[in-house]
Structure 1
């Protein structure tokens, strides 16, 4: 699978970097009890840390709000996924287990303060492009709403748009039937490439510990 960044993204976001992990021969199921416990404890700790913080004081949230502004998206109307997660946890609305892939994806996002997307690779058609949407770009989101992607950073394949650092689509959602997956990591623009590579290695290792299989990963900039 080839993944590229479109030229208009590079011109609008010259410091942006993206992590790509392609998993094969994985087994997705209910999260092991140890993982559920770790994620729950992490949210409880994060809840205490966020009590006296404003969202703008969290580096990852602040950087991704700036990214949204750079592409023409209002971050007060369309919040980066990491900000939405943090706001939930701050209110004590902890995430309930869904499946092992989604649970880990959310955990990584909260841990590293950046948006993540995970997709069933077999539901992706052809190559993938990271682009900024026009007036025609949209999809049905996981929240059941039509997500309009005009001026929003997103991923697209041969059938159209399927993911973004805002909310992902139903079309490529990962499930317990999935045996291959594509992980998209929206790094903080301030991160060095070496940091990004180290993060991808850690993410991939933990994901494979839970799901088995194999992976390959790389940084796009």
Structure 2
């Protein structure tokens, strides 16, 4: 499995640094250690923003600009990292799904970078980061059909399955998932910052999502 970037991006004013990690995982409910880490991270995020809107975070601002560049209104289709941050600064806890997804949400919350967690065994062939067109949709996780027009999206031989807005049910992480693809959507983000976020992801996944 290889990941390529569609040449269409040469026509956009976007700095692209896509991070991709693969892991063997054991999916389970999040242990207390991870839940405590998430709670501490949410508290730190609230302190960082000091009552400001999530969209004022400089990383989220850059992601929003990338959405505008590819043709998607980020006020209607918010980057997933912004949605998580908005939830936390409103005083709500992050949803707990499973250890893998919860690690992904924590990385996204703490860095501002949208991430995707995908079941490798449901991906067909190679992957390409492209831009959605008017004929493309998929069933989003908890969202129903998603209009992919103008969104940065990941596609395999079957079709689109992931985006920095919301991912598809087709490649979602479930209790049966054993092989994980973890993607960081570094749109307009410095490569060093994406690498730092990848290191955080590696630490969390190896600590909380793998057998001893």
Please give the range of the TM-score, normalised by the shorter of the 2 chains: over 0.9
Deviation at 1:188, TM superposition (A): 4.8
Q: Deviation digits for residues 54-105 of structure 1, max 9, x if unmatched?
A: 3342111100110000001011111111111111111112113210001000
CA 14–45 in structure 1, closer or farther in 2 if over 3 Å, else same: closer
Q: Is the 8 A contact 2:51 2:89 kept in 1?
A: no
Q: Is the 8 A contact 1:97 1:103 kept in 2?
A: yes
Written as runs of structure 1 = structure 2, the 5 A alignment for 1:71-150 is 71-150=70-149
Residue 212 in 1 paired to residue 181 in 2? no
**Alpha-carbon distance in 2 for matches of 1:184, 1:148:** 21
Q: Deviation digits for residues 118-140 of structure 1, max 9, x if unmatched?
A: 01110111111100011111100
CA 157–95 in structure 1, closer or farther in 2 if over 3 Å, else same: same
**Alpha-carbon distance in 2 for matches of 1:190, 1:156:** 22
CA 127–93 in structure 1, closer or farther in 2 if over 3 Å, else same: same
Q: Equivalent residue for 1:27?
A: 26
**Alpha-carbon distance in 2 for matches of 1:197, 1:95:** 24
Structure 1: segments with no counterpart, 5+ residues: 214-221
Q: Secondary structure of 2:77's partner?
A: coil
Residue 47 in 1 paired to residue 46 in 2? yes
Residue 168 in 1 paired to residue 185 in 2? no
**Alpha-carbon distance in 2 for matches of 1:27, 1:56:** 34
Q: Secondary structure of 1:174's partner?
A: coil
CA 2–145 in structure 1, closer or farther in 2 if over 3 Å, else same: same
**Structure 1 segments (4+ residues) deviating >6 Å:** none
Q: Equivalent residue for 1:187?
A: 186
Q: Equivalent residue for 2:4?
A: 4
Length-normalised TM-score, structure 1? 0.89
**Alpha-carbon distance in 2 for matches of 1:184, 1:65:** 18
From 174, 186, 201, give the equivalent of 2:199.
201
Q: Secondary structure of 2:141's partner?
A: coil
Q: Is the 8 A contact 2:14 2:187 kept in 1?
A: no
